[in-house]
Structure 1
Amino acid sequence: MTTHSLASLQAPSVADFEALAHEAFARLPETFRKLCEGVVIRIEDFPDDETMQDMGCESPFDLLGLFRGIGLAQDNAVMATGQFPNMVWLYRRPILDYWAEHEESLGDLVTHVLVHEIGHHFGLSDDDMEAIEAAAG
């Protein structure tokens, strides 16, 4: 890489993160994707103030992602009127900060956060989630 091309490097944008998240989701095993059929993936730079307060965060960099919605154990198989769809938020700036400090590819990190946010909400064990990540390649 030349010095000129290094000088023009930019952090991945929200759109870049959306593409990474959708690629990561598409690589997940079909059985896992079916668990979260209809899930909406949102990319934000940081969690909002209400989320930070709800999660007990001291800094906006404390939270890499969040799942909000109805888990399988709570699901009545019918969405209630006015109920929001299951949603996963990935927080771009905290993920970039974490990525800068670790030896993990950005794509692998996005996959990890996505799997863990969905997996914990649906009651999967850490071993289950590791197997899902491994299957995603």
Structure 2
Amino acid sequence: MAAQEPCDSVPDARVIERMAQAALAQIPAPFADHLANVVLRVEELADAETLAAVGLTHPMQLSGVYHGRPIGEKSAWDVASYPDQIRLYRKPILAEWRETGVDLQRLVTHVVVHEVGHHFGLSDADMHALEDSAGEGG
């Protein structure tokens, strides 16, 4: 998908979802093998319950969230539940895109990879340390 500039028309949820699917498609094996049942959703803003669960108060503070149990905590004995989900929040992503001028695909990819990290049980601190050690911190 071609890079978009902040002056282009405002991308809708379908555009963000296509970008997120493209980001997921770039996740290498063996990690990708564990993502087949994860549902990807794009919503406008996080609801109050989700914000409270992650310790935030304003919906523009959250660009994505992982809902589910990290795969390292799952067991064959678990009772079936809702599928794990990665939710992206369009308005905060677009606000960050406008503020920073970062390529939108790169920004969406960053959020998706971050939430995939939570699926694998990584904390925010773990992910920031990995990004910093790879020279991508920010």
Tell me the TM-score range normalised by the shorter chain: 0.7 to 0.9
Give 1:79 deviation, angstroms. 5.8
Deviation at 1:35, TM superposition (A): 2.7
Q: In 2 relative to 1, CA 130–78 (structure 1 residues): closer, same or farther, beyond 3 Å?
A: farther
Residue 21 of structure 1 and its aligned partner are, at CA, apart by 0.7
Question: Deviation at 1:121?
Answer: 3.7
CA separation of 1:18/1:130 partners in 2, compared to 1, >3 Å: closer, same or farther? farther
| 43-52 or 24-33, which deviates more | 24-33
Equivalent residues, number = 125
Partner of 1:50 in structure 2?
49
Contact kept? 1:119, 1:129, Cα under 8 Å: no
Structure 1: tracts of 5 or more residues without a match: 1-7
- Residue aligning to 1:5: none
CA distance in 2 between partners of 1:42 and 1:52 (Å): 16
The TM-score normalised by the length of structure 2 is: 0.78
- Distance in 1, Cα, partners of 2:37 & 2:45: 23
Instruction: Mark the runs of 5 or more structure 2 residues left unpaired by the alignment.
Output: 1-6
Q: Percent identity?
A: 35
Kindly state the Cα deviation for residue 29 of structure 1 after the two structures are TM-superposed: 1.2
- Assess, with a 3 A threshold, how the Cα gap between structure 1 residues 38 and 32 changes in structure 2: closer, same or farther: same
Report which of the two structures shows the higher radius of gyration computed on alpha carbons: 1
CA RMSD of aligned residues (A): 2.5
Structure-1 separation of matches of 2:55 and 2:33: 31
| Runs of 4+ with deviation above 3 angstroms | 127-132
Q: Deviations over 1:68-105 (max 9, x none)?
A: 11212211146623x00110000000000011111421
